[in-house]
Amino acid sequence: MVVFDGLSLEQWLTVKGVLYEKLKAIKMEEYLTFALVPTLTSLSRQAIFSGELPYQFGGSLYNNRGEEKSWRAFWSRQGLSAGKLALLKGLRGSEEDLARVRENLHREVLGLVVDQVDRLVHAQQLGPAGMHQDIILWLEQGKTVDLLEELLAAGFDLYLASDHGSTYATGCGRPDEGCLVETKGERARLYTQEEIYQQALKSIPCRPWKAIGLPEDLRVLLADGDTAFVNKGEEIMTHGGSAVEEVVVPFIKIVREE
């Protein structure tokens, strides 16, 4: 399974065009799925690799440090020994990344995290049109397509997934709460202290979010509409909220044509 961190449905259409052009004799089965809300990497990507909901994450709720341990635990429950699987993170399509994948082609199960799309999102200055061009340039100049080709050639069943999408938002102001908030996302803020949560609910333009699967003591505020918790008037590509562009993500199976 290859998780493209931050890949939205719109961006998948760009990736799809390049893959059909570059990969040899492939067939795709395309599905849509929903990311967890709030659409934060620490929640939504960890859910993919652990097969669990956030209330089961324990101490790794606010980061991805427990991701590999959870991934291995999931496959251990399926009867797969540790030496038969690997999780490779931080891939961006470099020669070094391609070499890492080649070193692990003997495994039965591989999990890959390609985080370049998310990096492009957070560095984006030109909005969705800029993302389209950046993704094409990245795929054509880097080794990500070669990486996928290697997996197919080695006989892997190849699944592409995304932990969340992204949206274009306008800043409504940056709350100054320091360490009082657990996670200071641009579209979502997480609290464990009820008093601080209630103060924020009254003082910043936001709405509360309650969802099945979150820890009982966790309070979530999402930015209203197409706004973000950044400097007022600033326009950014970001994620964390519940916009359809952030929540509806691709899930793709790629196989060789027979």
67 and 178 share a domain?
no
85 plus 26 within the same structural domain: yes
Rounded to whole angstroms, the Cα distance separating 200 from 32 reads: 34
- Whether residue 141 sits in one domain with residue 21: yes
Residue 205: domain span? 168-237
User: 6 and 118: one domain?
Assistant: yes
Same domain, 74 and 198: no
Q: What is the mean pLDDT of residues 185-196?
A: 91
Helix (H) or strand (E) holding 247: helix 244-247
Tens-digit pLDDT profile for residues 201-223: 888 889 999 888 999 989 999 99
Please tell me the predicted confidence (pLDDT) of residue 137: 96
- Give the three-state DSSP class for 227: strand
- Can you say whether the dihedral through the CA atoms of 220, 127, 243, 59 is positive or negative? negative
Helix ranges, 87-243 (H): 95-102, 116-123, 127-141, 144-153, 194-203
pLDDT, residue 182, reads: 56
What is the tens place of the pLDDT at every residue in 67-104? 999 999 999 999 999 999 999 999 999 999 999 999 99
In sequence order, what are the beta bridge partners of 251? 31, 161
Count: domains in the chain: 2
Q: 12: Cβ–Cβ under 8 A, 6 or more apart, which residues?
A: 162, 249, 250, 252
| Total-model pTM | 0.93
